[in-house]
Each structure stands twice: as C-alpha cells, then as structure tokens.
A and B are shown apart, each in its own frame.
Chain A
C-alpha cells in the first residue's frame, strides 16, 4: 500500500468512527429519542460551528491555540497508522508500532494542556492542570497493559501481535489488561467518567473559550482519539482482523465499533470521578493491578 493509501485509510476510519461516536454519545445521553434525529445531530452541530466566526480572548497564545486541535488529531492519526486493518500486511506496520502508539498517546497530554493554556483564561487552564495530574497517574498503567500484549507475541509490531492471536484472543489470557486498557483509554481521551478537563464544574473546561471552527476541530480530534484507542484495543486484545465469514477489515471495524460503543455508553452512565480520587485510583489501584497483569502474562508466556 502506498503512503497515500495509508493516509486515506486512516482518515476514513477516524472520521467514520468519530461520526459513529457522536451518534452513540447522543443516544447514550438521552438527548434524542429517535435514531434519525441522532444521525442528523452531529452534522447539524458541525454546520452551525463552521458558520460561526472565529473568536478570541484577551491576549491568547494564538499559535498554540490554533495548533493544539491539529496536534491532537495528528496524534490520533499517528497512533492509528501501525494497526493493520484488513490483513497481515499493513503498510504502516513498523517493527516497534506499539511503542509509537504508546508515545503518541502520552503526548496527548501536551496537546490538551496547551489547548487549556492558550486562551489565557482560568477555567481552561484549570482543566489543563487537571489533565496533567490525570495522565501522570494513569499513563504508567496504560503503557504497561499495552506493552504486556507484546509478551506472548514476542514482538512490538502490532501486525505480529494481531497475527499471533489467530487461535486465541489476548482478552482471554489478559482480561485484567483489557479492563485496565478501557479505563485508562477513556481517561487519555478525557471521556466520561474521566472528562475532568471538560467537567461541568469548569463550565466546559479546556474548551470553555473555544467556539466555531476551532471547537468543531477540537471535538473531531477528541473523537478521532477515541477511535484510535478503540482500534488499538480491538487489535491487541480482540484479535483484530481474525474472525470467520466476514473479510478481515470487516472484523477490525466491527470490533473497533464495539469497543467504541462500550466507551460511549459508560461515558454517560457512570458519574464523573473527582480528581483526587482519580489520582489515588491511578497510583493505588490501577498501577499494582497493571503490574499483576505484567507478571501473570510473563509467567504464562514462560
């Protein structure tokens, strides 16, 4: 596959997934009673935002503010590149794909923080601070459970990890890892119940000052990030393209959509976690559990 092919493929998956997420989120929140209204909702909202003028605040850090949504979207795309969609030969499948993904997901912290910092306004800035505290607490368990999937496959290449699941999906041998992955993935995408940087108590938080095209871009980037995290979850825990009857890409997309829908529905049904509790939860609960996952998986692999 050419470079252009990879770009088109990643863009199509991320944008399609983002639309699905917006519809699912709408239905999960109870905002629309019928599916047709929910299907139209993201398009109506986006068309209103794109019609709005670009606003500014008093003395913003304008370059950073303009750059942050693109950075977030770019990180989501980079994270999605190493995942094979249709079959064993993915053009973007580099030998250390898992490391590339992990690095991109942790740099999300930078994109979110500068988006909060740039408008020179208090509530967005507090949202940025909060996200820093969150990612410091859950970043290590996140990286650990992602890297643990490399142990049975004996490779950091996502393609090899998916290929080695032809008989047994890793969710069976690493169920704990999958649960920790879902929890920490929701936190990295600042999605409910971990949407602290955008909580109601901050009146929109990091996005409180953003309007119009900038807000639309930010929402799209966040949704793309959710899709990337679901795509990787489906690849390394749910066997990616493996499955009967359907073509490989069909299975990949189906499993990704499933993870995405699980995240979308829990986002609206579990109460938002306090930041102090989340920091405690990351260090005292998730980190030891992630280490257990590493040791147990290592022991099984031996």
Chain B
C-alpha cells in the first residue's frame, strides 16, 4: 500500500537541470517535496561540483527513511554514492524513481544508512540539560552555538537575533544559492551571500560562447517563452497556487507557436488568483543606485526600454517592439515576463527562418549576455545583500524568485568577467 503511492522526492538541482526538473514535476506518481524530512528519494539532477558533496550528504541524512538516492543526467559520476542513475529522459527517470521508492519501502532493497556520523556538530560545552551555565545574561555560548543575543534595533523593536545559513539546496531559493542570515523573528537583519560554486556548468563561456553563428529567431524565442513559463510555474508554486503551476509547467513542456492565447489565459488566471495584491505587489523594488542596463525583463519591468533585439534588423523586420511595464516590483516583473512570453511565441510564429545575433552578444531570457561581460545573474548576485537586508523572510524569498537568478549562469559570468 505504502509503496503504491506517490514517491516523495527531494531534489538537489545542479546545472542544466531546469527544464528537466519542470518536466519531472508533471510526471504522475512523483511528488516533489519542500524538505528532505518528507522525502524517501533524494534525486540529484544535473551537474554539481565536488564542493557540493558535503552539503548533499547533509541533505541526505535529513531524510526520515527509508531512504534511497538516485542520480539523473550526470555527465560523470558524482562524489556521493548513488543507488541508481539514469541518463535518459523524463519517462525513464520517473520510472527509476518510482521503482526505487517501491523497492525500498517494500524491503526489496535495503534502505541507505546515514552518510555522516550522527554526532553533535559542536562539542558539548554547557552545563545542565539545556546548556545553560555560561557567562552573561543568556548564558554566553553554551553548546558551542551563538545563542540568541541582542542585536541593534533596526526598526525600533529589540529582539533576539538568530544567525543561520539557508541553502544551498533550500527549495524556495535558486538551487546552489546559500545565504547567511541573521534573523530577528522573521526579519532578515543581515544577509550575506555564501560564495561557493556548487552548480556545474556546461561550457566556460556560457550561452554566448556557443553562439558562433546567427541563431534561428524561432528557436531563440520559443526558448525564451519556455524559460518565462517555467519561471511563472515556480512563482505560482511559491504562492501556493498549484493548479496554475501545473498549467504553466504543461505549457512550458509543449511550447508551440500557436500557444500565445493559452499564455494569455494563464496570466488572466494569475490575476484572478489575486497573485498581485496578495503576495507580489510592492515587493522587491530595486534600489535606485543599481545599473539596470542589460538586466532584461527586470529593467523592462521598471519602465526601461532596454532590449538588444531592438538593434537587430531581423527582429525589426518581424515588427519587434520592446514591451515595458511600470513599478519595478515583483508584480511588474510577473506581468513583464507573462507579456514577453506571449510576445516571444508570436515572434516565433512570424520569424520564418530569419536569424539574429551571433556577434558575441545575445538578448537572453534574463537579459544581455556579451562576451567578456558578467552575466545578468552574476551582477544581480552582487546586489543581493543590499537588496535583501531588512526584509521579512517571505518577501526576501519572493524578491529572489522575482529576479530569476540561475546559479549556473552566476558561475559562468564570474569566470567570464
């Protein structure tokens, strides 16, 4: 009975796994869960680096058990001992995950033991059952952990502060991004990006290095529409509107030049679900001193008419005009990406076999990619600490999601610059 149900899967998503993961979410018989505690299967999908080994081991051991680990789409074996692996498509991966789940639940295969020793991360230094007995009012640092201490009051309310690292596989943040946060209640008083390249990339130059000759506009625009739809699916999921998330994911998986009305309908559904007033409006406004040029939809959502496609003759031939929105908040970015997805599908329908770009630059779904220039994601990550400080945790997550940061692109961009 237990093994017949959905396999609860926790995903560690490496480089190049974005679309595959979105397709897996549509598969029957699999439920992707928010915390390893609720999972029986750990799925490592895409490219992860050696540096990620330790964090993956930690995630693995948090699974309640019976547990099993599966790898999908790795060019080379990972540093962790996986039980089964596949390089196939979504159907094979789904089948493999379901079979492993069924086997481990029914005792056909032995559940995996924990990979790390079950000991206290820091040696016991306190007195008594709760580690009290240190110096000072709160007992100093019993148990080797910084206990709640007073932090300077940022908003006039003095609360205890709790230092914590969130990530790198926190499901509501981009895969591979870890933040060191000092919480006061649910306010992030101090935010620091932990720099470690955990997500592997395919080629050092990223998307521009692979574009030696002009690209088919049709392919480029359909990829853009798919990218935005996947982003919309994630946004819906974060806001708890699962039905729309599934609809967006299905549309992304089968994108076609005739689909623009369907995307329009999805955007209408989003408005009816009150996504703007309930969760996105007024959240994630960028500080005014950030240079928006080249940030693609983020710049255009703030009213900036900034798009490399406007300079390409082939795009002008098919009647391209940049779309913009006003407000520059998370809701404007949602409307911007929804409008760009519709526009991209229409452009793909009109493009024929026209080609554009190829001279070392390209207007990607997330903005301008140019040889020798940091990628939009790399630039955004450097501004995160400034943007996120002082935000309520839910708003912080919404803000990061609205920026559409891909850690693979961050790594590539760092190397390029």
Name A's B-contacting residues (CB within 8 A).
Answer: 28-31, 40-41, 43-45, 47-48, 50-53, 55, 58-59, 122-123, 126, 129-130, 192-193, 195-196, 199-204, 208-212, 215, 267-277
**Residues of A close to B397: CB separation below 8 A:** 201
Q: Please determine whether A51 and B279 come into contact, CB atoms closer than 8 angstroms.
A: no
CB of B64 within 8 A of CB of A30, answer no
Which of the residues A45, A53, A196, A277 comes within 8 Å of B64, measured between beta carbons? A53
Check B2 against A193 for contact (C-beta < 8 Å).
Answer: no
User: Max chain B CB contacts within 10 Å: which of A41, A51, A211?
Assistant: A211
Report how far A31 CA is from B242 CA in the complex, Å.
Answer: 8
Known: A203-B35, A268-B242, A276-B392. 6 other contacts (CB 8 A): A29-B243, A30-B243, A44-B1, A52-B66, A209-B35, A271-B273
Asked if B127 CB lies within 8 Å of chain A CBs, one says: no
B324-347 CB contact bits vs A (8 Å, 1 = yes)?
Answer: 000000000000000000000000
Nearest 10 A/B pairs, CB to CB:
A44-B5, A211-B64, A201-B397, A29-B242, A271-B239, A48-B2, A30-B243, A271-B278, A272-B240, A271-B275
Q: Which residues of B contact A195 (CB under 8 A)?
A: 240
Q: Which B residues are CB-close (under 8 A) to A200?
A: 34, 171-172, 237-240
B185 at the interface (CB under 8 A from A): yes
Could you list 14 A-B pairs, sorted by A, with CB under 8 Å? A29-B242, A30-B242, A45-B6, A47-B2, A47-B5, A58-B120, A129-B186, A193-B240, A193-B274, A201-B394, A203-B34, A204-B34, A208-B35, A273-B279
- How close is A31's CB to chain B, nearest CB, in angstroms? 7
Q: Which residue of A lies closest to B398 (CB)?
A: A201
A277 x B240 contact (CB < 8 A)? no
Within B367-417, the residues touching A (CB, 8 Å) are 392-395, 397-398
Docked CA distance A50–B392 (Å): 35
CB distance from B352 to the nearest CB of A (A): 37
Choose from A45, A53, A201 the contact partner of B5 (Cβ within 8 Å).
A45
Please state if B5 and A272 are interface contacts (CB–CB under 8 Å).
no
Among candidates B1, B35, B105, residue contacting A204 with C-beta atoms closer than 8 Å: B35
- Whether B64 contacts A122 by the Cβ 8 Å rule is no
Find B394's partner among A47, A52, A122, A275 (CB 8 Å cutoff): A275
**A277 contacts B278, C-beta separation under 8 Å:** yes
Which residues of the other chain, B, contact A273 by a CB distance below 8 angstroms?
278-279
> How many Å from the CB of B118 to the closest CB on chain A?
10
Chain B residues within 8 Å of A40, by CB: 5
How distant is the Cα of A277 from the Cα of B247 in the complex, in angstroms? 27
Option from A51, A52, A126, A277 in Cβ contact (under 8 Å) with B186: A126
Interface size in chain B (residues, C-beta < 8 A): 55
B-side residues, CB < 8 A to A, are 1-6, 8, 31, 33-35, 37-38, 40, 64-66, 105, 120-121, 130-131, 143, 162, 164, 166, 170-172, 183, 185-186, 237-243, 246-247, 273-275, 277-280, 283, 392-395, 397-398
> What are the residues of chain B within 8 A of A53 when measuring CB–CB?
64-65
Given known contacts A44-B5, A122-B183, is B37 in contact with A208 (CB within 8 Å)? yes
Q: What's the least CB distance linking A257 to chain B, in Å?
A: 21
CB distance from A198 to the nearest CB of B (A): 9
Known: A193-B278, A274-B283. A44 touches B2 (CB 8 A): yes
For the complex formed, measure the closest distance between the CB of B117 and the CB atoms of chain A, giving whole angstroms: 13
Kindly state the separation between the CA atoms of A204 and B4 in the bound complex, as whole angstroms: 24
Determine the chain A residues whose CB is within 8 A of the CB of B6 once the complex forms.
41, 44-45
Which residues of B are found within 8 Å of A59, using beta-carbon distances?
130-131, 143
A268 to B183, CA, bound (A): 29
Q: B91 CB to closest chain A CB, in angstroms?
A: 17
How far is A285 from B131 in the complex, measured between Cα atoms in Å?
45
Chain A's nearest CB lies how many Å from the CB of B371?
37
Q: How far is the CA of A215 from the CA of B39 in the complex (A)?
A: 12
How many angstroms between the C-alpha atoms of A216 and B75 in the bound complex? 39
Q: Which residue of B lies closest to A277 (CB)?
A: B278
Q: Is the CB of B395 within 8 A of A274?
A: yes
Q: Give bound CA distance, A130 to B395, whole Å.
A: 13
Q: Which residues of B contact A203 (CB under 8 A)?
A: 34-35, 170-172
Docked complex Cα distance between A40 and B1 (Å) = 10
Chain B residues with CB under 8 Å of A272's CB are: 239-240, 278-279
Least distance between A204 CB and chain B CB atoms (Å): 5
- Distance to closest chain B CB from A169 (angstroms): 28
| Distance between A178 CB and nearest chain B CB, rounded to angstroms | 20
User: CB within 8 A of B38: which of A123, A129, A130, A215?
Assistant: A215
Asked if A270 and B274 make an inter-chain contact with CB atoms under 8 angstroms apart, the answer reads yes
Please name the residue on chain B nearest to A126 by beta carbon. B186
Tell me whether A199 and B278 are in contact (CB under 8 A).
no
Q: Taking each of A47, A53, A122, A212, which has the highest tally of chain B beta carbons within 10 Å of its own beta carbon? A: A122
Measured between C-beta atoms, what is the minimum distance from A209 to chain B in Å? 6
Whether A275 contacts B162 by the Cβ 8 Å rule is no
